[in-house]
Amino acid sequence: MQDLSSFPITQRWPASHPDRLQLYSAPTPNGVKVSIMLEETGLAYESHLINISNNESKDPAFVSLNPNGRIPAIIDPAGPDSKPIAVWESAAILVYLAEKTRQLIPSSPAQRYEVMTWVFFQMSAVGPIFGQLGYFLRLGGNDYRALRPQQRFIEESKRLLGVLDGQLEGRDWIVGDYSIADIATLGWVNALEHSYAAGDILGLKHYSHIQAWLSRGLSRPAVQRGLRIPSRSA
């Protein structure tokens, strides 16, 4: 049995199955990227809910794994050279798991870099902008001082949706076959409607290629499972 005791996080969130990949996450747009990826690849894993509402991602045990104090993070007991490895930052985890399993990333170098480009587009643009829009709509939008930044994030979100909608014209998936580019982005677009109630203000229904892509993605059983992992506390 693999020994994970060198990772302090396992004292705070013990591993019942230390031979399995350990996922420390929450069902947020960033968190579900990794749970969806794990469900898609079929890797054996154990999930641990990090309650970000209770600031658990700032717990010293979690910060010992991810010094940035953000979910998700993983420990793979069967890392390179069969030694345990910790990986944090959702895009890094997606790439790591894609390379480990040789799934959901193209073997063609040209397509591989195209997929990576759209993964980093999500990380640098879609996630930060949609996330800030969600903040202002849910938490800061009633304050007069918040109206100007809120409008800024509305307009930038529309622009990014236009970029994504244009890429999806004539395509089922963002680049070639279903890949980590889609997994990285699905949760964020889904959150616009279901978490941030931003569908109407963004005119989301008018982005027809995104709507078709989102429907295809959400119809995947692994995506539906991944969106609910880890389960929130009752």
Band (127; pLDDT cuts 50, 70, 90): very high
| SS3 track for 68-109 | CCCCCEEEECCCHHHCCEEEECHHHHHHHHHHHHCCCCCCCH
Which amino acid is present at 131?
G
- pLDDT higher than threshold 60 for residue 234: no
Q: Which domains does the chain have, with CATH numbers?
A: 9-103 (3.40.30.10), 109-220 (1.20.1050.10)
Q: Please report the pLDDT score of residue 187 as a whole number.
A: 98
Name every residue whose Cβ is closer than 8 Å to that of residue 102 and which is 6 or more positions away in sequence: none
The stretch 122-131 carries a mean pLDDT of 98
Give the pLDDT confidence of 3-31 residue by residue, as tens digits. 899 999 999 999 999 999 999 999 999 99
- Supply the pLDDT for residue 90: 98
